[in-house]
Structure 1
């Protein structure tokens, strides 16, 4: 005698298939994809090396998730980085993969563009250089600049060897003496824009001594 479990087996199989299809339909409803541009970070740069160049600053991610949740996600919610702990001096190509990302739990990554980045590492180097005050303008008529001084006069800078070796001075931001008839002392920032270096201090004190011209 046929076991009851095999009775109407065709209907039972059909019911199971329908249930599965309904589950797939229900879970896939409201699923959406978006693309976001996320800044690329670099971690674990070895001691004694400096990151000089990298060909990619932003990574485009295609992410997938429930539509109502994915709409609230912004680039600030995602981090993408390259691990340079095993990097060596010179040029190299490093992979950008899903293992080096922090994502909201509600989404998955479908695509990463680009999938790699070319970078250049150079040796670290430091040295002391002089600080050059930048004075603009002219004092009041009948007055002149007697002297210009800066404290400290020399500072230590650090960065990539190929860049640091060509630097012999660091300028200050301008100090304007237009129309002045007395000594001016100001704390000024160092002008290191575009140099990609580090300095032991961020500001120096510049003193411009102004005195009346002798008749």
Structure 2
């Protein structure tokens, strides 16, 4: 046994080095690196808090692994998230680490960009806003729109104080009365222009009362 370690030492060392080189070649063969653009997810958002702005919506993640595995990866296989459980109102900077990126153990994270993100959060408020029906067109000659009602008349909107303070009412999508000569109901959606707000519902029923214009003597 002693001779095995003492004889032909130089030859055995060369053999060992060659074996290691061969191992690296075999291991690295078929390796591939790709960059994926992934959406940033937010977890554990405190109750009564809303995200109003972020410095980035996506992160570029560079991953390495066997070409066969990397080639078959889908964006849903890798999750990038930010934990907001301890976030405070205002702007907060979060630094990404490997712990923020969950992926299969068969691949390796090489790098990512950006390395941090700024998240702005605000306290959430709720406000009742009146509904304003939007009417387009003109009734049939000799008739007029005498009354417009909405059911419900107002709706609950939830969001940041800043966003809510910009609104006096919520408009509906247009209701067309062209050539109408009789009262009718129409179910329409609300024209929700500010997507940072949430609403209890987005559909209302509009009643358009059409009456004869006495000044023209029209008859229904």
TM-score with structure 2 length normalisation?
A: 0.89
Deviations 1:86-120 (A, max 9, x none): 11011121112221223233322211110111121
CA RMSD of aligned residues (A): 1.9
CA distance in 2, matches of 1:63, 1:184: 60
Q: CA deviation at 1:195?
A: 4.2
SS of residue in 2 equivalent to 1:59:
strand
Q: Structure 1 unaligned segments of length 5 or more: list them.
A: none
Q: Structure 2 unaligned segments of length 5 or more: list them.
A: none
Higher-strand-fraction structure: 1
SS of residue in 1 equivalent to 2:172:
strand
Equivalent residue number for residue 113 of structure 1: 113
CA distance in 2, matches of 1:53, 1:2: 71
| Greater mean deviation of Cα atoms: 108-117 or 165-174 | 165-174
SS of residue in 2 equivalent to 1:64:
strand
**Total equivalences in the alignment:** 215
Deviations 1:138-177 (A, max 9, x none): 1222221121111111121111122223322111111122
- Pairing of 1:44-55 with structure 2 (within 5 A): 44-55=44-55
Instruction: Indicate how the Cα distance of structure 1 residues 96 and 193 shifts in structure 2: closer, same or farther if over 3 A, else same.
Output: farther
Q: CA deviation at 1:75?
A: 2.6
Q: CA deviation at 1:2?
A: 4.9
Instruction: Indicate how the Cα distance of structure 1 residues 176 and 76 shifts in structure 2: closer, same or farther if over 3 A, else same.
Output: farther
For the pair 1:153 / 2:179, whether they are aligned, the reply is no
TM-score with structure 1 length normalisation?
A: 0.91
For the pair 1:209 / 2:202, whether they are aligned, the reply is no
Equivalent residue number for residue 14 of structure 2: 14
Equivalent residue number for residue 87 of structure 2: 87
